[in-house]
Amino acid sequence: MCQLLNSVDGTLSLLNKLTFYAFPTKTSEFLHPKSSPYLGNKTAKRWRFRGVRSLSLQGGSEAADHVKSSNKFKTNCCDEGEMEPFPHVQTLRKFPKEELVGKVVMVRFDSTNLLREEEQDQSSQSVSSAVFTIKYLHEAGAKIILVSDWRKKTNSQLHDAETVADMLSSVIQHRVVTIKCDYSAVLLKMEVLKKADIFLLENLSEYKEEVANNSKFAELLSSGVDIFVNDSFSQSHKILASTVGIARFCSACIAGFHFEESLCQLKKVARTNKRPYVAIIGGGNLYDKASALHFLVSRCDGLVFVGMMSFQIMHALGLSVPSYLVEPGAYKAALDIIQIAHDRNIPILHPMDFWCMNEHLPEKMDIFPSHHILDGWLPVDLGPRSLDELNSLLVKCKKILWIGPVKFKFSGQCADGASKLAQALNDLRQRNCDITVAGNMACQAMVMESKSVLVNDMIENASVLWEFFKGRKLPGVMALDRAYPFEIDWKSAYCNPAQPLVVDIGSGSGLFLLGMARRRKDLNFLGLEINSKLVRRCMDSVHQYGIQNGYFIVTNATTTFRSIVSSYPGELVLVSIQCPNPDFNNPEHRWRMLQRSLIKAVVDLLALDGKVFLQSDLEAVALRMKELFLKIGKGKLNLWNDQYHARMNLGEWLEENPFGVMSDWEQHVIDRGDPMYRLMLSKSSGIE
């Protein structure tokens, strides 16, 4: 085997340099906010007195004990400081366009965007980006299958799939044909897809398997589908068959243009790059949103409560609140929020007065102080003093988040307070204040006040934002392929980024690359692995052993290999794929590694005389890999050193590992006495 390694030496002078750490995303700016009080003006002090300082009104041992417990929470929340950064996901914008030609692409679209009843909404930027996703795929030569759920509350004209198809045809400007969910993959490809280029599946809201994320239903949806494009960000907080389950059965799962824009909006809200940053909190259910509010109070410079949650804050402060307005179980959660704000010296604000409706004479309205609402009167909207004080505070802010409706239990759909707040925010936006509005009612109020409001200032589904603030991973985002920043700082990854590069696709626990990196200091090694836990362990080993010629990336190499490796400044001299999932070519498995796009990228980027090393403990899998590489790489790849194989009587397979370094699975197979099936391919310009 020394002969083999030496003969590949010119090409395999290739292997050195590892540095195992994922490129950091700059989250520190919003994970560790400064504690200096930006809102130290007279208005803030007035509001602060109505808020945090009123904690002393509670008295008694219960409040004191709870303050101690909330200090412990505050330490965990603010000082522990590690919320997992946003994952980089593969997007349609960066996906190789040539790989879309002739592919069957399923697009999960957002019905609230594309099927709205209001004409003015059809020209909005969110609709434009959703339409652009479909048009982009069509122009690229893909067969498109659209899928979503819709209800009449979105549009009263939505009767059946045919009606929806006609509406989409009008919006997209291309003919859309309906199909059912019971086609087999063969029928779908061979017969149905000949009829048109864009298809619409039946209404998903009619299938209980959709909400249950039923695996068989997800597989049925994916029948005949090559690539899945998620363009429904509003559903990303849910686990659905059409957003999460389907990802297991498609070779590539990527974000559409609307999804990508919405994810950027979420990142924007999380940043505290402009100060003071104040969050205006509407709606109710404080207990359910407590962890999200902890996130906000630990990062913002003030919280303003304008909905039902304001009564829970007032109750925790010891103010008089009618019992029917008190949310069960929210008292201690509200105390936590107040204490964290007190420790950070930031204001917690609540309304000072309300418009109230007479319970027996609904047409009779009057204004009451927030702490003295008389019996028989029901709060319906913010009072004038509250709005004046709020405007005085907001004018000092550089960044504002408004999330949730200015709406109370007894108010109508449209509250005047919401309109006045939207007016104030629109004025501030024109003065270069960074405004983000979340929630349908809040967004509608902003749109009614200003037709020029930008879509990247709005997140229509507040539930997605609340789930993110709770520190939860969004299932719809996590189901997409892990991508990597477009620009990689190779100088940070390797001591000498000009050295030849070796890439191990599916690097697993990294034993092969780590061993090779120690032996070959003249080469750089890159491991591409989809399992983030394994990559973290590998990077720990890199740092522990001081390896400077190795690096590992969390990614799905199927869709990101080309974008990652093409930016490397040196030559790609060796690619290894070792023991992939034994069922990698089974549609039931998402990790179908050897797709045409990956093989073509490997062949295109490989240096002349570069090598591809393939091995598996299953002969059928090894044969399949060999056939695909030779077929797709025809004219460029051939079996390395046929004469050597014949002279050594090796037949089709290499008897031993040519590098003398085994992967963990290879070692396991050898230890149990089973054979490994290995081969080496070489790139040459002389083969036609």
Q: What's the mean pLDDT in 364-387?
A: 92
Q: Which two tokens stand for residue 177?
A: 């044909």
Residue 238 domain-assigned (yes or no): yes
Question: Which pLDDT does position 272 carry in this prediction?
Answer: 84
pLDDT of residue 535: 94
Check: CB of residue 506 under 8 Å from CB of residue 614. no
DSSP string, 642-678: HHHHHHTT-TTSBSS-TTS---HHHHHHHHTT---EE
Coil vs helix vs strand at 579: coil
User: Do 409 and 428 belong to one domain?
Assistant: yes
User: What is the residue whose two structure tokens read 């697993």?
Assistant: 508
**Helix, strand, coil abundance in the chain, percent, nearest 5:** 40, 15, 40
Q: Are 293 and 332 in contact (CB under 8 A)?
A: no
In a domain, 338, yes or no: yes
Phi/psi at 589 (5° precision): -110, 135
- Rounded Cα–Cα distance for residues 460 and 471 (Å): 20
Please name the residue that has the structure tokens 């996590």: 478
SS3 377: strand
Angle in degrees, CA 306, 307, 310, rounded to 5: 75
Helix (H, G, I), strand (E, B) or coil at 478: helix
**Six token digits for residue 100:** 């879309």
Same domain, 299 and 239: no
Alpha-carbon span 38 to 147, nearest angstrom: 47
Residues contacting 545, CB < 8 A, separation 6+: 514, 518
pLDDT at residue 554 is higher than 60: yes
- Residue 255 β-bridge partners: 91, 230
Sign of the CA dihedral with 419 first, then 420, 421, and 424 last: positive
Question: What pLDDT, on the 0 to 100 scale, is given for residue 407?
Answer: 79
In percent, the amount of the chain with pLDDT more than 90 equals 52
Both 558 and 639 in one domain: the answer is: yes
Contact 95, 254 (CB under 8 A): yes
Q: Is residue 309 within a helix (H) or strand (E), and if so which, with residue range? A: helix 309-316
Place of tokens 């359910």: 288
> What b/e sequence results for 375-395 when a residue is b if at least 16 CB atoms lie within 10 Å of its CB, and e otherwise?
eebbbbbbbeebbebbbebbe
Nearest in space to 18 (alpha carbons), one of 545, 665, 658: 545
For residue 91, the cross-strand partners are 255
Contacts of 61 (CB under 8 A, 6+ apart): none
- pLDDT, mean of residues 296-305: 95
Polymer length of the chain? 688
Examine residue 77 and state whether it is found in any structural domain, yes or no. no
Q: What's the CA gap between 500 and 549, in Å, rounded? A: 11
Within a domain: 33: no
Contact 676, 666 (CB under 8 A): yes
Task: Answer whether residue 1 is part of any domain.
Answer: no
Kindly report, residue by residue over 490-547, the tens digit of the pLDDT: 999 999 999 999 999 999 999 999 999 999 999 999 999 988 899 999 999 999 999 9
Say yes or no: 218 and 288 in one domain: no
Q: For residue 411, what pLDDT is reported?
A: 67
Residue type, 189: K
Name the band, by pLDDT with cuts 50, 70 and 90, for residue 685.
low
pLDDT at 597: 81
CATH number, residue 605: 3.40.50.150
Q: Write the CATH number for 223.
A: 3.40.50.1260
What backbone phi and psi angles, to 5 degrees, belong to 229? -115, 115
What are the angstrom distances between the C-alpha of 280 and each of 33, 294, 400, 559? 18, 14, 7, 40
* pLDDT tens sequence across 635-671: 899 888 654 444 444 457 898 899 999 988 898 899 9
Cis status of the peptide bond prior to 276, with omega within 30 of 0: yes
Cα gap 615→657, rounded to integer Å: 9
Is residue 30 included in any domain, yes or no? no
Residue 220 shares a structural domain with residue 335: no
Query: 265, 280, 308: which is the final residue of a domain?
Result: 265
Residue at 367 is within a domain:
yes
The residue type of 603 is: V
The conformational region for residue 439 under phi > 0 = left, psi -120 to 50 = alpha, else beta, is left
3-class secondary structure per residue, 406-440: CCCCCCCCCCHHHHHHHHHHHHHHHCCCEEEEECH
**CA-based radius of gyration for the chain:** 30
**Residue 630 maps to a domain:** yes
The torsion angles phi and psi of 454, rounded to 5 degrees, stand at -85, 145
CB 144 within 8 A of CB 165: no
Quick: pLDDT tens for 330-363.
Answer: 999 999 999 999 999 999 999 999 999 998 898 8
Backbone region of residue 112 per phi and psi (left: phi > 0; alpha: psi in -120 to 50; beta: other values): alpha
pLDDT score for 526: 98
Residue 430 pLDDT > 90, yes or no?
no
Distance from first CA to last CA of the chain, Å, rounded? Answer: 29
Last residue of a domain, one of 203, 232, 265: 265
pLDDT of res. 279 = 96
pLDDT digits (tens, 9 = 90+) for 584-626: 445 444 345 678 888 999 999 999 999 999 999 888 888 989 9
551 and 601 assigned to the same domain: yes
Same-domain status, 337 and 212: no
Q: Cα–Cα distance between 393 and 223 in angstroms, integer?
A: 56
51's torsion region: left (phi>0), alpha (psi -120 to 50) or beta?
Answer: alpha
283 and 192 belong to one structural domain: no
SS3 563: helix
Say whether both 253 and 288 belong to one domain.
no
Q: What per-residue confidence (pLDDT) applies to 43?
A: 41
Same-domain pairing of 502 and 425: no
pLDDT tens-place string over residues 164-180: 999 999 989 999 999 88
Domain extent for 170: 92-116+126-265
Check pLDDT > 90 for residue 402. Answer: yes
Encode pLDDT of 236-277 as tens digits: 999 999 999 999 888 889 999 999 999 988 888 888 889 999
Looking at 239, 265, 291, the residue that finishes a domain is 265
User: Helices H, strands E: what count in the chain?
Assistant: 27, 22
Average pLDDT, the chain: 81
How far apart CA 348 and CA 331 sit, in angstroms, is 15
Return the pLDDT at 500: 97
Domain match, 139 and 189 both? yes
**CA contacts within 13 A on the Cβ side of 369:** 5
* Cα 4 to Cα 212: distance, rounded to the nearest angstrom: 54
Number of independent structural domains in the chain: 3
- DSSP secondary structure code for residue 610 in this structure: E
Instruction: Note the pLDDT tens digit of each residue in 24-42.
Output: 223 222 222 333 344 544 4
Distance CA 205, CA 295 (A): 33
Of the pLDDT bands very low, low, confident and very high (cuts 50, 70, 90), residue 484 is confident
Nearest residue to 559 (alpha-carbon basis) of 221, 241, 230, 228: 228
Do 446 and 324 share a structural domain?
yes
